[in-house]
Amino acid sequence: MSYISMNLVTMFYLIASVCFIQALKGLSSPSTARTGNAFGMCGMAIATITTVALIFKLQAQAATTGGLGFSLVLLGVVVGGGIGAFAAKKVEMTKMPELVAAMHSLIGLAAVCIAVAVVAEPWVFQITTPGVALPFGNRLELFIGTFVGAVTFSGSVIAFGKLSGKYKFRLFQGAPVSFPGQHMLNLGIAIALIALGLVFCFAPGVEPAWTPFIIMAVLAFLLGVLIIIPIGGADMPVVVSMLNSYSGWAAAGIGFSLNNSMLIIAGSLVGSSGAILSYIMCKAMNRSFFNVILGGFGGDPAAAAAGGAQEQRPVKSGSADDAAFIMSNAETVIIVPGYGLAVARAQHSLKELVEKLTHKGVIVKYAIHPVAGRMPGHMNVLLAEAEVPYDQVFEMEDINGEFGQTDVVLVLGANDVVNPAAKDPKSPIAGMPILEAYKAKSIIVNKRSMASGYAGLDNDLFYQANTMMVFGDAKKVIEAMVKAVD
């Protein structure tokens, strides 16, 4: 009995692919992000249901009795979907980067597990028949899929630890971890991986070459750790997008092995979009894209420490009432949100403050740096959660020219993205594009303390004559500003 024809499978996979493409298109702008998410969810639902129906058909055609294959698939869908729904509902916005890294690790691990299953019993996946060796092309695909998947898994685990900041284990610390000969070790492992892969691909006989395959997988897991540990916390946004790209390529590689067009298309979309996003992030942080790919950019710890040495310089501080008075009497205000705003969950209070300032005739805009927060688009999502009008939110390249004519800039929990040190050729962040808040007539900075940002550098903006520091939790400070404006 035929439950679903292959023509229908192809058609539904094509519809799902179109949905994924529309999702990427929608996610390219905050104003269409919700629609993009809806397309993505519909596409994944169609792809999942079609795949489950296909598995049901294949098991029925095999006329097996007492098999648990389909039951295990349904169990996996229910359990995995339940865990995902619970995690997505409970996770805080500030913890979203960790959740993304964890999801990337699972995709990589799934790619490795599928590759192992294919190598062990290729006839189950209709690649060969019992007693026939795996073709060279399939072995090459399995090698690439296993390599990329293993690197994605272990690299994402390290990224998760660095982003969470909860673990004392040195590899999970935000500071770069480096040692003498690190790059040569990475190069040696990469050469060994290629050699083992060739041995696996060209191995004669029907039985798979398990020894080189297993050693290759273990070394790939190790390489994933080694290429992420030298990357510092300041560069984590790029790491998130880079691992996103890796997970996509891993899925695409396994799609070729399984002859699954949906996996190939979806994986390629994720891989290419992640690579493009990584390039954009590198450009925004003045980093080398190839150094990211090779895991070679974490900064020189010694240089970072030297650059981050806090100078004992006087700063001008004030209260929330002082800040509210200055903004109420301004004609234009630009707000620069940062990670401190996200931690305090102050976006709703901020929207209320903006509404009151706007009611008084003040023109208010938001300025967003591409790497503000802890992942690409973090601040855009945060403001969208508070239903901030999209026409008030501007990207760095669109608003930088306005800072010089702005009366007041309110910086909320941002640090490195407004640090004028980027203009100094001798600075560790020299050349990094920043929001040019330092050009405004008056600057108000809200932070808990004078602590440095992810880059570990002192911020010259805090010591300018036209800067006033307002210390305290962002939510409490903004709520006090709201009362003072009233």
Segment 241-286, tens digit of pLDDT? 788 888 888 888 878 877 788 889 988 998 898 888 888 777 777 7
What is the C-alpha to C-alpha distance for residues 279 and 289, in angstroms, rounded to an integer?
Answer: 6
What is the C-alpha to C-alpha distance for residues 377 and 391, in angstroms, rounded to an integer?
Answer: 16
> Number of folded domains in the chain?
3
CA end-to-end span of the chain: 72
Question: Does residue 471 belong to any structural domain of this protein?
Answer: yes
Asked whether residue 160 falls in the same domain as residue 289, the answer is yes
Question: 3-state DSSP call for residue 165?
Answer: coil
Per-residue pLDDT at 292: 58
Asked whether residue 15 falls in the same domain as residue 155, the answer is no
Question: Does residue 305 belong to any structural domain of this protein?
Answer: no
Cα atoms in the 13 Å half-sphere on the side-chain side of 446? 33
Question: Does residue 241 belong to any structural domain of this protein?
Answer: yes
CA 460 distance to own-chain centroid: 29
Question: Does residue 212 belong to any structural domain of this protein?
Answer: yes
Question: Does residue 476 belong to any structural domain of this protein?
Answer: yes
Average pLDDT on 347-353 reads 93
What is the C-alpha to C-alpha distance for residues 483 and 477, in angstroms, rounded to an integer?
Answer: 10
Catalytic one of 416, 458, 460, 486: 416
The neighbouring-strand residues paired with 409 are 334, 443
**pLDDT tens for each residue of 88-144:** 777 776 677 778 888 888 889 988 998 998 898 888 777 888 888 888 888 888 898
* 416: annotated active-site residue: yes
Per-residue pLDDT at 319: 94
Question: Does residue 139 belong to any structural domain of this protein?
Answer: yes
Residue ending a domain, among 236, 264, 299, is 299
Cα angle for residues 91, 92, 95 (degrees, 5° grid):
85
Q: What is the mean pLDDT of the chain?
A: 83
Asked whether residue 112 falls in the same domain as residue 5, the answer is no
pTM above 0.85, yes or no: no
Asked whether residue 86 falls in the same domain as residue 101, the answer is no
Average pLDDT on 320-328 reads 94
Domain holding 39, by residue range, is 1-90
Q: Give the number of other Cβ atoms within 10 Å of residue 484's Cβ.
A: 18
Per-residue pLDDT at 298: 42
How would you classify residue 126: left for phi > 0, otherwise alpha for psi between -120 and 50, otherwise beta? left
Asked whether residue 71 falls in the same domain as residue 215, the answer is no
Question: Does residue 304 belong to any structural domain of this protein?
Answer: no
Check: CB of residue 124 under 8 Å from CB of residue 116.
Answer: no
Check: CB of residue 110 under 8 Å from CB of residue 104.
Answer: no
Distances in Å between the Cα of 278 and the Cα atoms of 82, 149, 242, 285, 292 are 31, 18, 6, 11, 8
